A and B are shown apart, each in its own frame.
Chain A
Amino acid sequence: MPRPTPLHQRTSELCTSLAFKEWAGCYAVCRYDTYHDREYYALRHQATLMDATPLYKYEVRGANAAELLSRVTVRDYSKHTIGRVSYVCWCDEHGKVLDDGTATKLADDHFRFTSADPALAWLQRNSRGLDVSVTDISRDMAAMALQGPLSREVLRPIVGSGIDKLKFFRAMPVRYALEGGDAEGVLTRTGYTGDLGYELWMDNEHAIPVYDAVMESGKPLGLLPMGLDALDVSRVEAGFLLNGVDYTSAKSAFIEKQKSTPHELGFDWMVKLEREPFVGQAAIRAEVQSGVKRRLVGLEVNWNDFEAIYESFGLAPHLTTETCRLGAPLYQDGRQVGYATSRTWSPTLKKYLALGTVAASHATPGTKLEIEVTCEYERHRAAAVVTKTPFFDPERKKA
């Protein structure tokens, strides 16, 4: 049975739908109301607060902390400055992606590392010979994501005006001004929504006071608590992949076909090959030389086609409001060239979006494909075009 997070007392009071699911062994709210729409619109127009505590979190400390991350992940951490946050993936020795997460440099000898799957054993196994210690703080540290265009205004009274200087993907130590006394923590300008937003990190004991302060400060600005359903729509709009949905970790894959390389997932930009050895380097180098076989891409489904399929049955087009995680084959000229893994209607863009994997030859933006649409138990196809991600990329995200 999942365990409650330190914020469960608050989130469970607010969650009138009683729609919870398991996330990394914890209870997580799917949506607070019967439908998540209100939360989604609050995210894109005001601000939302989500309990992100279930994330796996690790402290990486020691003189060789950067060396460890450079060795384990595909990025080079030797020149990262203090306060920099980086999105990163890491591979097994065959260059197949195990997971993705973030690393925050808090001091020269201190990083904080997050992941979707447990990573302690992998980090420890690869730390031989390095002056570094890895500590699992997953259950000791709470996290919440405050996202949306007004998130800075919500947060300023609690952490002070220093927040105005905090740039995109940067971290700063903060003192949360709380009623019962200030608490220390870390603030990062990060998120999984593709919007302006922050993630707040603090010890478990401060979780509820910080939550209360943020909710209180956000009330006049229209802040709402947000669950995973709205998050799932926003992350597709932002073009973010999800381990276990858009790709399978090499650790959980049963066959080679289920595994992916960083380049296949579109992580080319974070891979730095010409440097000290790292796990998977040789395999990735070989792949780059021989050519990447497939690519994870964004897709826009042609709505007119989609509507026409429903129309032919005398029906109005129908999509669920949640992101659909059932795979759908992608075709070109009658031959299957890939599959979509996440599909969602974007209420902001008014478009039917998907993330999918296609043969590399079909991955160029503008490539015309077809996606399978099942209507009244019959299979049909609608046009879909390969599109650059993020689909939704507001200026405020980095401003």
Chain B
Amino acid sequence: MGSTDYDTIIVGGGHNGLVCAAYLAKAGQRVLVLERRHVLGGAAVSEELHPGFTYSSCSYVVSLLRPWIIRDLELARFGLDLIPLESSFLPLPDGRSMCRWADSELTREEVSAFSRHDAEVMGEFSQAMTKIGRFVRPIIDSPAPEPSSLNPKELMTMLRLGRHFSDAKVDEMEMRLKLLTMSAVDFLDEWFESEELKSPMSVSGIIGTFLGVRSPGTAYVLLHHYMGEIDGAFRSWGFQRGGTGGVSNAIANSARHFGAEIRTEAPVERILLDGDRATGVVLQNGDELRAKQVVSGCDPRRTFLGFVGADNLPGDFVTSLKGYRFRGSSGKVNLALSRLPEFSCRPGSEHLRGDIAIAPSIEYLERAYDEAKYGTFSRRPYINVVLPSIVDPSVAPPGQHVMSCFVQYAPYDISEGAEHWPEKREAFGETVIDTLEEYIPGLRDTILHKHVLTPWDIQEEYGLTEGNIFHGELTLDQMAFQRPTSGWARYKTPIRNLWLGGSGAHPGGGLMGAPGALCARAILGKEVN
């Protein structure tokens, strides 16, 4: 046992691992990032899978990337370049459609066609949600509180959070409690009457969970929509120019600039232990690399049951880990198109610059969920479509387009068993295309290439257990001081010198970077606001 090769080795070159690496390197540490694949970014990745077409294979929009991370790591200088999404379009099978725009008056006009009441209440609603978004923000920007601790520092944190709550007026407090407990649909029912408005809004409550829009607890996730910020401006979503992988590359460039070393095609076999202490990693090629500490950017199951091994962990920790739910519920279909798709309900392209929701009614969404509950992918799924090539021509050849479709539900646990997903991949892709054909007649004839990702593929190719895009469901019982398990929500793990810095740690999934950054701060022993 001699000297260590590095201060910190980071397992996994996803965006959180890279953020963590950049912060540690910036603080002067010798840092090594090990990525299994040939390309960085994990699920925040761009891949040219058909000549001339760059897919944002998994994650496809950016919104929650923390502004302080952008500033600290100087990401704009290293290639972060976000183009705002301008609209949200809902095509309907009966030929009607609704587009919500950045321009509130225009949105009002659109929504009025469905409900004049709703058109007017929308402003009030987003006002109220934005206020609450401001209350949640400090929570996602600092480590999870430790509610059982009597440490004065912890008590102060709890007090501060408590004050956020008690300072609110009664009506705001009521809204917060409702957000935490109600279903997305029930919550929206209290504000709006039009199904066509509520339906596309409610889906943001189910993204990445195995729940339906009527399941209690889904209202909270609606908030994330109102917390989206790019460049520090609230309520915006954007595309990274050149694809989402550009965000990861910007972070990687920053990390390298600060001195981190990054290796791709360097899969880790296991984490080296000395008793209950991590001392480095063993690569699949047999190389042993030593470090003072190891950070895993991978999800909790892969990290602990994979790289560490259940036998090396306390029994109760293993038990609670096994209770941590992944239940991937979504797939992804990326298409290369020979021309811009034309929706029969509204020709033209200006309403296609933002996102497009196939979510015609709440019943449609509930039916989609019903099928998933019993182990099949939805025959008519919720699809969130974006066409980044409209605003970013660099991702497709001139006149041609990239279509990215996020598809829910595609349950990891299909009734035949998850390992049978590859046999279903073709049918799954066809279902998505069939669904889209109902709105875009002739779409199929324009497809030059398709890239279908089932939850199984997301697990096998991108390393996300059970295909869950958030490293574990983002439900209330798996958030804050319970993420990934209670007692271990502060990036530390039962293995000394092993840290968890991926989306399975607080504050969770999404292209935020917060878990990686907060993990780095914890390692550096730095206090966070």
Contacts and interface: CB of A to CB of B under 8 A. Distances in A.
Interface of A: 1-3, 22, 24-25, 118-122, 124, 136, 251-252, 254
B105 A120 contact: no
A251 B103 CA distance: 18
Tell me whether chain B's interface is mostly helix, strand or loop, or mixed. Answer: helix
A25 B112 CA distance: 13
Nearest to A122: B120
Interface residues of B, number: 16
B120 A120 contact: yes
A98 to B, nearest CB: 10
A3 B108 contact: no
Contact of A25 (B105, B123, B124): B105
A118 B103 contact: no
A120 B109 contact: no
B102 to A, nearest CB: 11
Contacts of A2: 105
A252 B108 contact: no
Contacts of A25: 105-106, 108-109
Contacts of A120: 116-117, 120
18 contacts: A1-B103, A1-B106, A2-B105, A3-B109, A25-B105, A25-B106, A25-B109, A118-B108, A118-B119, A121-B116, A121-B117, A121-B120, A121-B124, A124-B117, A251-B123, A251-B124, A252-B127, A254-B130
Contacts of A22: 105
Contacts of B49: none
Nearest to B350: A1
A136 B124 CA distance: 18
B121 interface: yes
A93 to B, nearest CB: 9
Contact of B131 (A24, A136, A254): A254
A3 B103 CA distance: 12
Contacts, number: 35
Chain A CB count within 10 A is highest, among B108, B123, B131, for B123
Contacts of A251: 123-124, 127
Nearest to A121: B120
Contacts of B105: 2, 22, 24-25
A-B interface, 10 closest residue pairs, ranked by CB to CB distance from nearest: A25-B105, A121-B120, A118-B120, A121-B121, A121-B117, A120-B120, A136-B116, A120-B116, A251-B124, A124-B117
Contacts of A118: 108, 119-120, 123
Interface in B490-509: none
A174 B123 CA distance: 37
A2 B104 CA distance: 10
Contacts of A1: 103, 106
A219 to B, nearest CB: 34
Contacts of B121: 121
Interface in B82-122: 103, 105-106, 108-109, 112, 116-117, 119-121
A86 B129 CA distance: 35
A122 B117 CA distance: 9
Contacts of B109: 3, 25
A251 B131 CA distance: 12
A68 B273 CA distance: 75
Nearest to A3: B109
A60 to B, nearest CB: 15
Name the residue among B103, B105, B124 with the largest chain A CB count within 10 angstroms. Answer: B105
